């Protein structure tokens, strides 16, 4: 029994970065519950609250009550605001990736050569759209071109 208590104190001490005495006091106040002890240390300002909008209900209310309606509404608003922010950041990342990909596709050309003579050239973006919307035409033309001595290359046009 004493060994289990000592292990809990050690875990709490490592997690909360507090002294053995502070960990023991918090664990005693929490009746041996590690989570409650961590919350007690957080309320005392000895542990930083979790990042990302974490909160606890025990502040300003008893354990049996859920807090006032205003507190619940405020916490819901913070959570939905956090979700909106995450969605916005994700959409910005997707937009930046897609626009960068299109920009790179427009600065890189797909060139068609016949006996080292330049026959045609167009942006890789156009090739991607042709492969996406008309692969039954585009792929056979590329393969047939190989049989007639055409060569293909990608050339990056850095300006």
CATH number at residue 26: 1.10.8
Q: Is the pLDDT of residue 6 over 70?
A: yes
Q: Within a domain: residue 91?
A: no
First vs last Cα of the chain: how many Å apart? 73
Domain that holds residue 9: 1-48
Q: In sequence order, what are the residues at sequence separation of 6 or more whose Cβ sits closer than 8 angstroms to the Cβ of residue 1?
A: none
Q: Within a domain: residue 11?
A: yes
Q: Within a domain: residue 85?
A: no
| Alpha-carbon span 63 to 76, nearest angstrom | 19
Q: Within a domain: residue 100?
A: no
What average pLDDT is seen over the chain? 82
pLDDT at 63: 43
Count, in order, helices (H) and strands (E) of the chain. 6, 3
Q: Within a domain: residue 8?
A: yes
| Beta-ladder partners of 112 | 120, 152
Which range, of 40-44, 80-84, 94-98, 103-107, averages the lowest pLDDT? 80-84
Structural domains in the chain (count) = 2
Give 142-155 pLDDT, tens digit per residue.
999 999 999 999 99
For 53-149, strand residue ranges (E) read 108-114, 117-123
Q: Within a domain: residue 53?
A: no
Q: Within a domain: residue 15?
A: yes
Its sign, for the CA torsion 53, 55, 60, 64, is positive
Q: Is this structure's pTM higher than 0.85?
A: no
Q: Within a domain: residue 19?
A: yes
């Amino acid at each position: 029994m004493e060994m289990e208590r000592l292990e809990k104190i050690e875990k709490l001490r490592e997690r909360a970065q507090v002294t053995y005495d502070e960990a023991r006091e918090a664990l005693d106040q929490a009746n041996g519950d590690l989570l409650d002890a961590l919350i007690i240390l957080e309320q005392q300002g000895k542990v930083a609250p979790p990042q990302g909008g974490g909160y606890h209900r025990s502040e300003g209310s008893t354990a049996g009550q859920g807090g006032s309606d205003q507190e619940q509404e405020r916490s819901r608003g913070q959570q939905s605001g956090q979700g909106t922010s995450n969605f916005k950041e994700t959409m910005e990342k997707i937009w930046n990736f897609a626009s960068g990909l299109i920009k790179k596709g427009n600065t890189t050309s797909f060139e068609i050569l016949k006996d080292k003579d330049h026959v045609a050239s167009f942006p890789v973006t156009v090739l991607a759209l042709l492969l996406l919307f008309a692969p039954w035409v585009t792929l056979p033309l590329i393969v047939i071109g190989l049989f007639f001595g055409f060569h293909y290359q990608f050339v990056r046009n850095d300006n």
